[in-house]
A and B are shown apart, each in its own frame.
Chain A
Amino acid sequence: MTLLIQYTLLFASVLMLVALGGCFSEHSGVINIGLEGIMVFGALGGALALRYLPDGSAAVIVILASVLAAMAAGILYSMLLAVAAINFKADQTLVGTAMNLMGVAAATVLVKALNTAENPNNPSATIAYGSARKSFLIAEGMEFSWLTLLAVVLLVLAWFVLYKTKFGLRLQSCGEHPQAAASVGISVYKMRYAGVMISGALGGLGGLVYITAAVSEWKFENGVAGFGFLALAVMIFGAWKPFRIALAALLFGLFRSLSNVYTGFPFLEQLNLPGTVYNMMPYIISLIVLILFSKNSAAPKAEGIPYDQGSR
């Protein structure tokens, strides 16, 4: 049971963080499909920080350094989307797709270059961060991590910022009707940049949480195995609202972790269902919930349309 809870929280926090990031970007009016790529880069930034921090640093420093590095890397990578979509009015779906394709390839090339520079006999794309990962865990021997807590804090913060601050409301207006927002003096460009950069930060952090989830080294040629798209799904599932996103993430995380730990539940094992059924469950259940509850969900109205100051 503990395992189920641990891993549910783990998968859910990854999905939630990245989905929240996507949510900010879309609320500001920029479709962000490139979450996969942002996750990989954020993971890279965080992993590098973990790798190069001196052994035995205080846990607080390890956590802070890696989180900030992951966020910074994510923000940097998201600038690709920001510049192309906002300044150059590029097709946002296309840029997102390109970012996904580029993310894994670029990260692998970078890591290989780094590894080979350090040791010519090591052409791998692996970064090992063994002992530093321990600092994340709240208690030895369990998978409860400080990062999950951070994710919850960020969730509440996101809700607050989005709905209770001037910034958040203005951000949303840029995604609903940018011309109206501009007419009252809001800089749509700046707001959209903010939205994309926040998605970069949160997505990058999500990537870090994913790779440090349960192993002490990560092969970057594997990217993030489709989690970015799952987060996209969770965002749409949560109808672009933070708390609903959290619920969607929990639902998904629950069934995902169940597919791995079900053998620990004797009554489930006795049902003798093939493992594939458990693997399919998160998707089937999500689809069913979607069918029942999507009637009233709506994307931000002006998302995907490049903002042109001249148009009405």
Chain B
Amino acid sequence: MENRKVSRPSILRIPAVQTVIASLLCVLAGLLIGFIVLLLINPGGATEAMGTIISNFMSFKKAAKQISNFGNTLVKTVPLLMCSLSVLFSYKVGLFNIGAAGQYVAGIGVGLFFAHGLNAPWWICMIMAMLAGAALGAISGLLKATRNVNEVISGIMLNWICLYLVNMLLAPYMDIKMNETFALKVTHPAAVIPESPLFGSLLNGHKYTTIAVELAILIAVGIWILMTKTKLGYELRATGLNKYAARYSGMRDGFNIILTMAISGGLAGLGASMFYLTDMIKWPMAVTSVPAMGFNGIAAAFLGGLHPLGAIFSSFFIQHITDGGSFMEKIYPSEIAGFISAIIIYMCAFVLLIKQQLGKARMRRVTEKKGGEAK
């Protein structure tokens, strides 16, 4: 038998590539199922509707409108990305930060308070928003580390407490006529984040694209570096894999838990300020339920394979199809778009399975090439 060399290292061997392929397959599967549902409801317009969802801003005929809507999607990707970073960071350490929603709200409240109430410049508002989110996260972490309070339940409780506190905090700054906080660009322009030099020109001076976009991407890269290339990141992940082993080898697991939750919270709070300080969105009077952004972050985190860089793409994708769904022909109920994203997320659950299958398929080929299994 000739000595066959093992073929050059297959690109499929890299786990990252496996994850990307698996995620893509999930997305396709989700879109396919969504398409079938559209067909069931109304066969006629299904293809066009699916086309609109996938193309989002491209469904506009005029280039200028395509660009401005691309800008809208980009701006909304930023908070989603930050929330997904928040969730995936703590998840890697073994904690489920469902309190991201509350930390997000805290960021909104403190950020807008510093803008409207104290007339602070944008970067101070952002830092304070980040600290507010971090403080909230740290509380959850502290309760877990010292009193063994499950972070899920402390997160849920703090979500609601924060919501009501922020309502009270921002009550004096409400524009009664519009039933929401005043427009920052009009009342406190210093608090608005500066326009993005890169995207601004690309997008013909889109009103709301700010340096927050670049900042968010940089932070995502930063988190990836923190998690994979630093000692701290290593310690945090070790604590997540096995708390007792980590403690045995001298890592301070209690402190690590608090630190992780603080970082998570800070990310969510910062993300909130990055969205609200662009003045694209305002906080309505008397909000009665926690905004969904914190929970959508969970979806984006998983779709991105729990990887910070993947989260960039998954957040954009989720925002893309959500916005695309809003432009769909109204023969379909508008909830379809949300339904399709949920199916895609559900399909992500099978990423592991697909990775395994891909791995098995590769192994089979390798063993065959090597001369077959042992008889």
Chain A residues with a Cβ under 8 A of chain B:
80, 84-85, 88-91, 93-95, 97-102, 104-106, 108-109, 112-113, 123, 125, 221, 225-226, 229-230, 232-233, 236-237, 274, 276, 279-280, 283-284, 286-287, 290-291, 294-297, 299
Contacts and interface: CB of A to CB of B under 8 A. Distances in A.
Q: DSSP class of B's interface residues: helix, strand, loop or mixed?
A: helix
Given A91-B302, A276-B164, A97 B353 contact: no
Contacts of B153: 232-233, 236-237, 286, 290
Contact of B346 (A80, A221, A280, A286): A80
B157 A279 contact: no
Interface in B285-309: 289-290, 295-296, 298-299, 302
B290 A102 contact: no
Contacts of A276: 164, 167-168
B160 interface: yes
B160 A283 contact: yes
A229 B296 CA distance: 15
Contact of A295 (B98, B148, B154, B160): B148
Given A123-B333, A236-B150, A291-B147, A102 B342 contact: yes
Contacts of B158: 283, 287
A113 B39 CA distance: 13
A79 to B, nearest CB: 12
B317 interface: no
Contacts of A85: 349
B96 A105 contact: no
Interface string B94-135: 001010000000000000000000000000000000000000
Nearest to A93: B96
A90 B164 CA distance: 36
A146 B180 CA distance: 43
A91 B295 CA distance: 16
B149 interface: yes
B353 A90 contact: yes
B156 A90 contact: no
Contacts of A283: 157-158, 160-161
A125 B158 CA distance: 31
The listed residue with most A CB atoms (<10 A of its CB), out of B158, B299, B339, B352, is B339
Interface of B: 37, 41, 91, 96, 98, 143, 147-150, 152-154, 156-158, 160-161, 164-165, 167-168, 289-290, 295-296, 298-299, 302, 333, 335-336, 338-339, 341-343, 345-346, 348-350, 352-353
A191 B333 CA distance: 39
Contacts of B96: 93
A98 B161 contact: no
Contacts of B41: 109, 113
B62 to A, nearest CB: 30
B179 to A, nearest CB: 17
24 contacts: A85-B349, A89-B352, A89-B353, A98-B299, A98-B343, A98-B345, A98-B346, A100-B295, A101-B345, A102-B346, A106-B342, A109-B339, A113-B41, A230-B156, A232-B153, A232-B156, A279-B164, A283-B158, A283-B161, A290-B154, A294-B143, A294-B149, A295-B147, A299-B150
A94 B348 contact: yes
Contact of B350 (A90, A106, A297): A90
B45 to A, nearest CB: 14
